[in-house]
Each structure stands twice: as structure tokens, then as C-alpha cells.
């Protein structure tokens, strides 16, 4: 069975007879489930071996779903960067793998989801001839009955989720733009599902980004042009394109190369960097712009303006409805980072930092002049009067706290030069801690090895108790160890009993290295194990928050295997973390899925038995 296909459109069709979905950049495939689930690509390729996490999840829900078989559903295999964007490069990399061990390792780092948007067969009965709205209702009923998510959530471990359906195209389009998604799909409510047919009842509208490049080559054999950008002082090719050029535009460019350029190997012509054009694309992957198409000549543009940095901003545009000031203001002279660079970091890190900021009373530290001069700073808890309407707040004890729950709020705070984000150990919906955090504070960055030693010793203790733990750098000279907890189960008194025991135990083991002494002057050269900080009303630096230091360090989540002698805080600058986000998954990705409830109850029982 080949899938129903989309028709490309330049504008979103609106009206009561249409509904709207996110267009994800992944692998379109159909899941047919009779006795065994089979994932089939649009080209007829069986994908079970390449995406074993989906098949494994199917087996976990078999007892619940078997009464609904045979079943056929239509959807997209995706690696979700946020709820509105999938990273195609991750999915494609997996699709090219054949080695079982390589696939298994890739699954651990980059687990994929299957986002379902249609149901074609239910209990062996075809649904394709029914209206889309009827099929959607049946799909929602099926998902709810199975306890599966009826909305897309990139943090949810459940590998099969139903796509969100919007009645308002503008609402969805705003989310697509803000979250840098691929596009939007408009579907007619009365549409039927027709195999292997490109229907005007299903329309795709791409969220094009527009990048300026310098033309470098023309291949007369195939009619393709190469475009490049400046990275430092060198030109780096980032696009090869042909589409989008009208006949007159193509002949103009070709003649420019042949009359002013230099013939290179075969029928390839090169030219001095002088011609700039604007290219439409949907993303950047494998060193090239994805789905490129000529958009416009930029004849008045200086080629030196076509830079790697400018391309990054064009690929990640700031929300149009927001106002940003002084983008070229230098915030970190040591690493040459501007305010615009910082905003780009917040955009790219948003899907990692926002889950920890969500619904928490936020304290920020603002640096009005960045890491320059006197490094003036001030704490801010109260939302200012000039905060825009989209900033959510919560009034607690006469303080109107900011709630940073979305990308727009995060970027607004970034524009206000909030460079540190500090959060409490509970949300506005809980009265008890949702995590335990141990702060490992060495006397200086030169003694960072003490933090490594303390962290590894803690990990050994937590492993003994079967407690799942997480680790991050503090963004300064220390580290922080986390243990997630379920909502509103354990009190601060409970956690205090545990943290005090762990810290005292480590001090007893190695009194020459560790201390719980509050006064700095009495600590000597020992690492301070801070358990007093973990209490109601106190805060900790959020994962992925920058810190107010000249190096531009980030409080960076790590994998435990990275915690070794060679680890240094200086390794995690903003540029380094940006690169890290592109190459590996978030070590804190499953943080909220691991709540340690039974394990922590057992620990408390053991501790209480000692008294």
C-alpha cells in the first residue's frame, strides 16, 4: 500500500472545511499490524530493523491493542527536536544503517518517534473511504484507549503518538515559525484516503528560510550552480542548486560564468566571488542547504556579507512579532560573542532548557553590559511593568514571578540580558521537591578533580540504592548531581535526611578531601558538599543556562561516562555546547521519566531504621 501524497502550495488554504497539522521532516511510512507490526516506507522498504525502538514499543502494547487488529495506520518516523520540528539528518542516518550494533547504539542516543496522523484499517475493516474527520475521531479513540499520547511531546518516552490537529491555521503557523519547523499541512475535512495519489485535498506549505550565498561554480553538464559563504577568510560551499531559476535568469548566470569566469575541469566554470543570490531552503544538513531553490539576485550585496554566521541567523530567524535591540552588542569579548549570538544559543538550546524552567518561579541575573568592564549585575525575580502580554507570571508572597514556559519568553529574557536562569526545586503545582540536587563546590577551578571524585563516589552510592542519577557542570568551578523525584511524594524533610546522610558519609570516608563546613574560611582546600542549599525557597542554576563569567561557560548536562580525570569546566563554552547539541542527544532527556519513587522509599526506610 503506497501512501496518499501531498500537493505543494504557496499559501495556506483557509476555511471551515479545512484542518491543519505540523509537517515533520522525517520518513513517511505506514504501519501495518496483523500478527506482527510492519513499518513500510513510501518506496516499499521494510524499516523494522532500522527503527527497532518503534517495533519494541509495539510489542509492549500488544496485549492492549490485539483486539483492534488487523490495524493499519499512516504516519511519519521522526527524531523530534521540539514538538514542531524533526531533524531529518538523524532519521536519514538511521535509515542508511545496516549493522545491528550500530543501530542499537544510535537508538540509545537518538531514539525516534512514530507520529500517527491517519487510520486506514481498524479491526480488519477499511477506513479509507470515510471522511478525514471520522478517521480522526476513530484514531483519537484508539490512542486514548491504549493510553497513548494524543498530542506530540518530544520528551515523552511513548514512541507512538498522535499528531496535533488545529482548526486555526494562524495559531499553528506561528508555532511552526517560532520553533523552526518544516511547514504546515492543510487537509480537507471531507477528504478520503486514496493510495498513491497526489491530492489537492492534502496541501503542504513549507516554512522557507532564505540564505544569501556567493556563487562560485557553474557545471555546464547539468546546469547546476554552487554557492558558498565565508567562514573566517575561506569560502565554504553550502549549496548546489538549479531549481527556481527562470530560463532568462539561468541564461544570464550561465553567460556571466562563461564570459567572466575561468574554465576548470571539464565543463565546470569558476568565477571570482562577486555574484550574490538568495536561496530558499528548509534547513541545513550534511554541510548543504536542504531542498534549495533560487529565490532572487542580490546584485548590490557585498560578497563579504555572505558569512557562516549570517547563514545561521537566516536558518534560525527570530520571531517576527518580537522586537530585539542592539544585536551586535558584545557580551563575551573573550569568545567574541554578541547579543545576537546569545539569542541564537537560546533558540538552539530552548528545547533542552525549557522543560526545566517550565512552571517554576524564575530568578534571573541580568548583566546590562555583558561580561565587560565592571561586569555589573543584578538579580530579578519580579516581572517588570514593561513585560509584554505573552510573559506569564505567578504572584507569590508579593513577588510577581516570571514563568518562562515558551521560546518567546526565553528570547525576551535573553534580549533583557538575563544571562543566568535560577530555578527552585519544585514547580508552581507542587508543594514538595521534584528533584534532589547536590552542589559539589571545590575551593577553586584548579581543584576541579575533587568535584569529579565526589561525583563518582556519589554515583556509586546511588547505583547501590538503584537510584537513577544525573550529572552536570555548574558552569563555574564545580558540578551538580541530580536525583529526579515524583511530584508531591517526598518532603523537604525527607530529602534533607538523605542529603545530610550522603554528605556526612563522604566526609567520614575522605575527611582530607571533603567538608560540610558552611564558612569558606574554615574549609581550607577541601570541596564543600552543600546539602543545606536543598530546601524550599532556594534555587539552583538551570541545566543549559549560561553563567556570568568571561569564558562564556554553560551549566552543561553530561553523560556519566564523560565524568573522568580529563574533564574540565573550560570544555563547555557556549560555542562548544552549541556544537555538542548538534552532535549528540541531551543527557537529561529522560530526566522526568525516571522518578525513583520506590527506590527512594526504600532508601528512606533504611535510613530511618538506623535511628
Work out whether the CA dihedral 154, 155, 158, 162 comes out positive or negative: negative
Take residue 47 and report the three cell numbers written for it. Answer: 524499516
DSSP 8-state code for residue 554 = B
Burial status of residue 11 (CB atoms within 10 A of its CB: 0-12, 13-18, 19 or more): exposed
Report how far residue 246's alpha carbon sits from residue 294's, in angstroms, rounded to the nearest whole number: 9
Torsion of CA 538, 543, 548, 553, to 10 degrees: 150
Residue whose cell numbers read 531504621: 609
Alpha helix stretches (DSSP H) within 96-231:
100-109, 132-145, 169-178
Strand residues in 292-380 grouped as ranges (E): 293-297, 330-332, 337-338, 363-366, 378-380
SS3 content of the chain, % helix, strand, coil (to 5): 30, 30, 40
Are the C-beta atoms of residues 458 and 506 closer than 8 Å to each other? yes
Are the C-beta atoms of residues 242 and 292 closer than 8 Å to each other? no
Report how far residue 461's alpha carbon sits from residue 453's, in angstroms, rounded to the nearest whole number: 13
Residue whose cell numbers read 495506520: 73
With H, G, I as helix, E, B as strand and everything else as coil, classify residue 147.
Answer: coil
Count of alpha carbons within 13 Å of 538, Cβ hemisphere only?
Answer: 15
Q: Exactly one of 2, 23, 66, 100 is catalytic; name it.
A: 23
Are the C-beta atoms of residues 319 and 180 closer than 8 Å to each other? no
Burial status of residue 527 (CB atoms within 10 A of its CB: 0-12, 13-18, 19 or more): buried
> Is 23 considered catalytic here?
yes
- Report phi then psi at 473, rounded to 5: -75, 155
Report how far residue 72's alpha carbon sits from residue 366's, in angstroms, rounded to the nearest whole number: 53
Catalytic residues: 23
Amino acid at each position: 500500500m503506497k501512501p496518499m501524497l501531498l500537493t505543494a502550495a504557496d499559501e495556506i488554504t483557509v476555511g471551515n472545511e479545512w484542518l491543519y497539522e505540523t509537517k515533520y521532516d522525517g520518513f513517511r511510512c505506514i504501519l501495518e499490524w496483523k500478527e506482527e507490526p510492519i513499518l513500510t516506507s513510501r518506496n516499499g522498504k521494510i524499516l523494522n530493523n532500522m527503527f527497532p525502538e518503534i517495533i519494541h514499543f509495539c510489542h509492549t502494547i500488544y496485549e492492549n491493542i490485539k483486539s483492534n487488529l488487523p490495524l493499519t495506520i499512516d504516519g511519519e518516523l521522526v527524531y523530534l527536536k521540539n514538538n514542531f520540528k524533526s531533524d531529518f539528518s538523524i532519521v536519514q542516518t538511521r535509515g542508511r544503517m545496516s549493522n545491528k550494533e550500530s543501530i542499537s547504539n544510535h537508538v540509545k542516543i537518538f531514539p525516534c518517534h512514530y507520529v500517527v496522523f491517519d487510520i486506514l484499517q481498524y479491526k480488519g475493516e477499511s477506513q479509507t473511504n470515510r471522511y478525514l474527520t471520522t478517521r480522526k475521531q476513530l484514531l483519537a479513540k484508539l490512542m486514548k484507549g491504549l493510553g497513548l499520547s494524543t498530542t506530540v511531546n518530544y520528551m515523552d518516552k511513548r514512541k507512538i503518538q498522535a499528531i496535533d490537529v488545529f482548526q486555526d491555521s494562524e495559531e499553528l503557523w506561528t508555532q511552526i515559525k517560532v520553533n523552526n519547523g518544516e511547514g504546515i499541512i492543510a487537509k480537507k475535512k471531507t477528504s478520503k484516503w486514496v493510495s498513491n495519489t497526489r491530492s489537492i485535498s492534502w496541501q503542504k506549505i513549507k516554512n522557507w528560510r532564505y540564505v544569501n550565498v556567493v556563487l562560485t561554480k557553474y557545471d555546464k553538464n547539468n546546469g547546476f550552480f554552487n554557492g558558498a559563504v565565508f567562514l573566517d577568510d575561506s569560502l565554504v560551499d553550502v549549496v548546489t542548486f538549479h531549481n527556481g531559476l527562470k530560463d532568462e535568469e539561468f541564461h544570464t548566470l550561465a553567460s556571466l560564468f562563461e564570459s567572466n569566469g575561468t574554465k576548470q575541469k571539464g565543463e565546470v566554470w569558476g568565477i571570482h566571488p562577486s555574484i550574490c543570490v538568495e536561496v530558499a531552503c528548509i534547513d541545513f544538513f550534511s554541510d548543504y542547504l536542504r531542498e534549495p531553490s533560487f529565490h532572487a539576485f542580490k546584485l548590490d550585496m557585498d560578497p563579504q556579507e555572505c558569512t557562516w554566521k549570517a547563514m545561521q541567523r537566516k536558518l534560525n530567524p527570530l520571531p517576527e512579532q518580537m522586537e530585539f535591540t542592539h544585536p551586535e552588542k558584545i557580551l563575551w569579548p573573550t569568545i567574541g560573542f554578541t547579543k545576537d549570538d546569545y539569542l541564537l544559543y537560546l533558540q538552539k538550546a530552548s528545547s533542552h532548557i525549557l522543560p526545566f524552567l517550565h512552571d517554576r518561579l524564575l530568578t534571573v541575573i541580568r548583566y546590562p553590559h555583558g561580561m565587560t568592564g565592571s561586569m555589573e549585575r543584578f538579580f530579578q525575580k519580579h516581572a517588570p511593568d514593561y513585560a509584554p502580554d505573552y510573559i506569564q507570571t505567578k504572584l507569590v508572597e508579593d513577588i510577581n514571578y516570571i514563568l518562562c514556559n515558551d521560546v518567546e519568553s526565553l528570547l525576551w529574557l535573553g534580549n533583557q540580558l538575563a544571562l543566568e536562569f535560577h530555578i527552585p526545586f519544585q514547580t508552581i503545582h507542587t508543594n514538595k521537591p521534584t528533584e534532589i540536587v547536590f552542589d559539589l563546590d571545590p575551593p577553586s577551578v584548579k581543584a576541579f578533580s575533587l568535584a569529579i571524585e565526589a561525583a563518582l563516589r556519589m554515583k556509586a552510592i546511588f547505583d547501590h540504592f538503584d537510584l537513577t542519577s544525573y550529572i552536570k557542570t555548574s558552569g563555574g568551578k564545580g558540578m551538580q548531581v541530580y536525583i529526579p523525584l515524583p511530584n508531591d511524594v517526598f518532603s523537604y524533610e525527607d530529602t534533607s535526611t538523605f542529603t545530610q546522610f550522603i554528605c556526612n558519609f563522604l566526609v567520614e570516608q575522605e575527611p582530607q578531601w571533603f567538608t560540610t563546613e558552611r564558612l569558606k574560611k574554615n574549609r581550607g582546600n577541601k570541596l564543600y558538599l552543600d546539602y543545606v542549599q536543598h530546601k524550599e525557597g532556594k534555587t539552583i542554576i538551570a541545566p543549559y543556562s549560561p553563567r556570568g563569567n568571561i569564558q562564556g561557560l554553560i551549566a552543561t548536562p553530561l553523560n556519566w561516562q564523560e565524568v573522568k580525570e580529563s574533564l574540565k569546566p573550560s570544555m563547555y563554552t557556549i560555542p562548544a555546547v552549541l556544537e555538542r547539541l548538534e552532535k549528540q542527544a541531551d543527557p537529561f532527556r529522560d530526566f522526568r521519566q525516571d522518578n525513583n519513587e520506590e527506590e527512594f522509599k526504600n532508601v528512606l526506610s533504611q535510613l530511618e531504621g538506623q535511628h
